[in-house]
Amino acid sequence: MANHLPSPPVRQGTTEVSLLTSADPLPADVAGYNRWRTGLTWRSTVDLTAESQPNDCTSFSWTAPTDPTLPVVDTFTIGVVHGCDGRVDADEFADEGRAALEDKQAWLVGREVWTGADHPQSLQATATLVSGTASVRRTIADLVANYQDATKGGRAVVHVPYRALESAAASLLDVVTRVGNRLVMADGTIVVPGPGYPGNAGNWGPLTDDNDPESGAAASSGEVFIYVTGPVQVGLGPVSDRSSDRPRANQVQALFERQVIARWDPTFVFAGKATL
């Protein structure tokens, strides 16, 4: 009987357009991992007072904004485990585990951003629900309008679950253009396709109780939640190798992890329910 040696696994790869390709990098002065590995605090400027009025030669008074808020965001860890009972080449396992982390990290980061209820800055935890249910495109237009009105014209980023890209009523793909590895609307608004909520469950809308991760607003069958934030910044920490090789136990485990920070200003985040 022939002795068939194991061949390398099929490399899964990853989607070309994701939160990682759509996000902005962290600013140079905070990009170093040691600066943000335990979390980050920054001043919010998104709600600074802004006014315009005709010049009628009368005196103009302006009230300084209140002290800026200090948003806080924690890091989160993503990782993959690759294990086996029975002797295998530990180096091959390590190579496969490291490659798997690279392939899966975009999805893992997206999932934490959508539903990371244990973190203070997830879409669920920071969003204000805009009432009413409309088509995907109408919902996006309403959410962006709310965001720009609240921020006095701030640049919006739209977060949609993958299944909302194509809708029976009006395809979102008809109004976005791929520019590099981003999906962009006519006005420059970035659309980020993401994993949305697990198993298309209906309770992954904005939390009605910040202390209860199960209190997400409900969506019926054929409905999805869409979120709008300002610019999103993402930083990836170094890959940590926590693999183990136990020859006497006939066990090999490859474990690779990295810390990630994903931040946006939580002062104005909007969510809406759309019909597919």
Give this prediction's pTM.
Answer: 0.83
Poorest-pLDDT segment among 10-24, 45-59, 128-142, 223-237: 45-59
Question: Could you read off the pLDDT of 222-248 as tens digits, one per residue?
Answer: 888 899 999 999 999 999 888 777 766
Rounded mean pLDDT, 155-180? 85
pLDDT of residue 120: 61
Distances (CA, A) of 91 to 78, 88, 242, 252, 253: 21, 9, 13, 10, 11
pLDDT of residue 62: 56
Question: Could you read off the pLDDT of 75-89 as tens digits, one per residue?
Answer: 878 788 776 655 567
Rounded mean pLDDT, 188-210? 73
Domain boundaries, the chain: 128-232+264-275
Q: Domain 128-232+264-275, CATH 3.40.50 — does that match?
A: no
Percent of the chain exceeding pLDDT 70 equals: 79
pLDDT of residue 26: 92
The b-or-e profile of 39-59 (16+ CB within 10 A means b, else e) is: ebeeeeebbeeeeeeeeeeee
Q: 114 burial class (0-12, 13-18, 19+ CB within 10 angstroms)?
A: buried
Partnered with residue 263 across adjacent β-strands are 233
Rounded mean pLDDT, 20-28? 92
Flag whether pLDDT at 157 surpasses 80.
yes
pLDDT band with cut points at 50, 70 and 90 for residue 217: confident
Rounded mean pLDDT, 29-33? 90
Percent of the chain exceeding pLDDT 90 equals: 26
Flag whether pLDDT at 156 surpasses 90.
yes
- Type of residue at 248: R
